[in-house]
Amino acid sequence: MNKLILIPPPVFALALFAIGYGLDLLFPALPRPHLPLLGFILMASGLALGLMALAHFRLRRTTPIPHGEPSALVLSGPYLWTRNPMYLGLFTALLGLACYLGGLPLLLAAPGFCAVVNRIHIPHEEAKLAGLFGADYAAFRDRIPRWL
């Protein structure tokens, strides 16, 4: 197992945001797309999406932890249109935070986060879910897109 799977996705999100913030401080002459209203809407939407997805895990009494042992397949709420609403929520919140604060390097955190979870967390989770839930997970995977 890849040891990076043990690092929770929100930690990666915060680390990537910190790197973007540091780069923004190092290069203050770069463009500063400051869009506070859009940023606030994106942050609130991302947070709401992630919390809604987490609530559906709680309703099914299963773990949302990527390296945990799920006891049920969640197929309701935001999982009706994306297989990874918590990751999509973090992506959206990162994008919103970058818009709210302004600073071009901050915008790099969101696609960086997608790259990390696409390479580290999602393949591990998909393999685990396929092994545990077989045909039910395969039907879900075939019907619902990974992101949008």
Q: Is residue 13 part of a domain?
A: yes
Residue of 23, 26, 24, 44 lying closest to 34 (CA atoms): 24
Give the three-class secondary structure for 115: helix
pLDDT (0 to 100) of residue 1: 63
- Residue 148: inside a domain: no
Domain membership of residue 81 (yes or no) is yes
pLDDT of residue 54: 97
DSSP label of 65: -
- Does some domain include residue 3? no
pLDDT by residue for the chain (148 residues), tens only, comes to 678 888 999 999 999 999 999 999 999 888 888 899 999 999 999 999 999 999 999 999 999 987 789 999 999 999 999 999 999 999 999 999 999 999 889 999 999 999 999 999 999 999 999 999 999 999 999 999 999 9
Give the pLDDT score at 93. Answer: 97
The verdict on residue 69 lying in a domain is: yes
- When divided into structural domains, the chain yields a total of 1
- The contacts found for 121-124 with CB under 8 angstroms, 24 or more apart, are 121/5, 121/9, 121/66, 121/87, 122/84, 122/87, 122/146, 124/1, 124/2, 124/5, 124/66, 124/67
Domain containing 130: what range?
8-23+33-143
The amino acid at residue 143 is R
- Position 113 scores a pLDDT of 97
Q: State the number of CA atoms in the 13 A half-sphere of 24 facing the CB.
A: 21
The answer as to whether 2 is a domain residue is: no
Q: Would residue 124 count as lying in a domain? A: yes
Whether residue 28 lies inside any domain: the answer is: no
- Distances in whole angstroms, Cα of residue 92 to Cα of each of 72, 118, 125, 126, 143: 26, 15, 21, 22, 23
Token code pair at residue 67: 């390296």
